[in-house]
Amino acid sequence: MVQALTKQSALDLFEQITAFSVNDSTPGITRLAYSKEDEQAHKLMIEKMQQMGLQVRQDMMGNIFARLPGKNPELPAIGTGSHIDSVPQGGAYDGVIGVIAGLYAISQFKPQQLKRSLELVIFRAEESSRFGFACMASKVMAGQADFDKWAKNTDSEGNNIFQVLDNCGYQSQKLDECRLPANYFDGFIETHIEQGKVLEHQHKRIGVVNGIAAPCRYRVEVHGHADHSGATPMSQRHDALVASAAIITDINTAACYESAYGTVGTVGRLDVTPNAINVIPGDVTFYVDIRGVDKASVNRVVAKFLSSVEHAKAAQDVVIHVSELANDMPVLMKDEIVQRLERICQEHSVPYVTMMSGAGHDTMYMAQDFPAGMLFIPSKEGVSHHPDEYSEFEDVILAAEILKQAMGELADA
């Protein structure tokens, strides 16, 4: 027997997860991948799901799988899930509501009630905040991880993902065992907050996602020469920050030009050395995020960015190294699942819209191997990755009910 989540127990569990955050004076939720707070939240979920009567396991990366067995457990399962790590000073809803909705949906059925098993996946390290790479767990599951790149990129304490995994008691040398077999899932549906304003502006309660934009990401290291800001003539400078600013401006201009295709470009992190008011910046490292659903448009912005790098080298007489962190393809959802989710919304008179996702999600990589879909719920004022991130819990439960019906139908198909 499996104990079903109710609306109230689902809300209680959401609030318990929310409590795991860095305990300091900063606002919002800070639960970085594999931090103490993240580990505590995952431990809570394991204990909760075991108490509910689900079959729970962890793989070598610490991903959690909670299964409700079907009548024919040898058949590919129907999956759902999301993540519970956060960005620094982020919101409480990003990722977490997909875990809550998935657990709610699965728990409404009894063991062996459906032909296929149902399974909830809690993915690790979805956010790129700690290691510079997004969706790390789902990339491993889909065989899309670049371990060589991962080894070269570190967190703020100088540790790469493999060192952190080992320190947490997982087994980084066995990550290949996390690869999911080709017949593991017969369908996968993730629930997530929209992280935008489309649903709110159109007065819709559900977004049925038919495609996901993919990011191209780069680390740019600019090496000039630090000199006295007063004693160094303008003609004799090798200013790493001026070179960086020119590149950043060109990225913004190129992305604006391509905005009709939905392409965006962002530089959200910039480290300046020596970072003093009276010293010409000698070294700058910044990170570029270019993404969209039209790969040709994304590639044009990337080309402009790389051209700007070459121009800045000459103009400022600096050395620039560009490292590619990600170059992902936009992903389309399975038509059959999209149409099923649309039909369920229509059957229950739920106001919905079919839409693309501008943000990346673990479903991008699940969709490499399995039929996949996504459900969005509205984000108040489109705010996400911010302490003010908020969604109505009524919408979480609504999405969970739609997810429940979809998973049940797929499991008995």
Which domains are assigned to the chain?
7-213+330-412 (3.40.630.10), 214-327 (3.30.70.360)
What pLDDT shows up at residue 206?
98
* 255, pLDDT greater than 90: yes
Between CA 89 and CA 25 the distance in angstroms is 10
* Angle between helix 36-52 and 96-107 (nearest 10): 10
Region 171-178 average pLDDT? 97
- Residues with Cβ < 8 Å from 280, sequence gap 6 or more? 224, 225, 226, 227, 228, 229, 232, 237, 238, 239
- Residues with Cβ < 8 Å from 99, sequence gap 6 or more? 17, 45, 81, 82, 83, 84, 120, 122
- Determine contact, residues 331/293, Cβ cutoff 8 Å: no
Residue 42: exposed, middle, or buried by beta-carbon count in 10 A (0-12, 13-18, 19+)?
buried
Pairing outcome for strands 185-193 and 372-377: parallel
- The pLDDT confidence band at residue 315, using thresholds 50, 70 and 90, is very high
Residue 71 phi/psi, 5-degree rounding, is: -65, -35
Residue 9: count of CB within 10 angstroms of its CB: 17
184: which 2 tokens? 């593991």
pLDDT tens digits, one per residue of 359-386:
889 999 999 999 999 999 999 999 999 9
Between CA 201 and CA 191 the distance in angstroms is 20
* 143, pLDDT greater than 90: yes
Residue 258 annotated as binding?
A: no
Scan for tokens 């969604």, then name that residue: 391
Residue 238 annotated as binding?
A: no
What pLDDT shows up at residue 24?
81
Region 79-89 average pLDDT? 97
Pairing outcome for strands 118-123 and 77-83: parallel
Region 148-161 average pLDDT? 94
- The pLDDT confidence band at residue 262, using thresholds 50, 70 and 90, is confident
Region 90-116 average pLDDT? 98
Question: Closest by alpha carbon to 170, among 66, 42, 22?
Answer: 42
Between CA 69 and CA 54 the distance in angstroms is 8
- What share of the chain has pLDDT > 70, as a percent? 100
Q: Which amino acid is present at 98?
A: G
127: which 2 tokens? 């956010």
Asked if the bond preceding 351 is cis, omega within 30° of 0, the reply is: no
What pLDDT shows up at residue 25?
85
* 86, pLDDT greater than 90: yes
* 341, pLDDT greater than 90: yes
For 269, how many CA atoms within 13 A lie in the half-sphere containing its CB? 17
Q: To the nearest 10°, report the CA torsion of 133, 138, 142, 146.
A: 20
Q: Which amino acid is present at 223?
A: H
For 194, 291, 301, 362, 395, the CA distances from 379, given in Å and listed in that order, are 6, 21, 28, 19, 10
Residue 127 annotated as binding?
A: yes
> What does the chain come to in residues?
413
Residue 291 annotated as binding?
A: yes
- The pLDDT confidence band at residue 293, using thresholds 50, 70 and 90, is confident
Residue 38 annotated as binding?
A: no
Region 124-151 average pLDDT? 95
pTM as predicted? 0.83
Between CA 224 and CA 313 the distance in angstroms is 10
pLDDT tens digits, one per residue of 4-52:
999 999 999 999 999 999 988 889 999 999 999 999 999 999 999 999 9
Q: Kindly report the average pLDDT of the chain as a whole number.
A: 96
Residue 94 annotated as binding?
A: yes
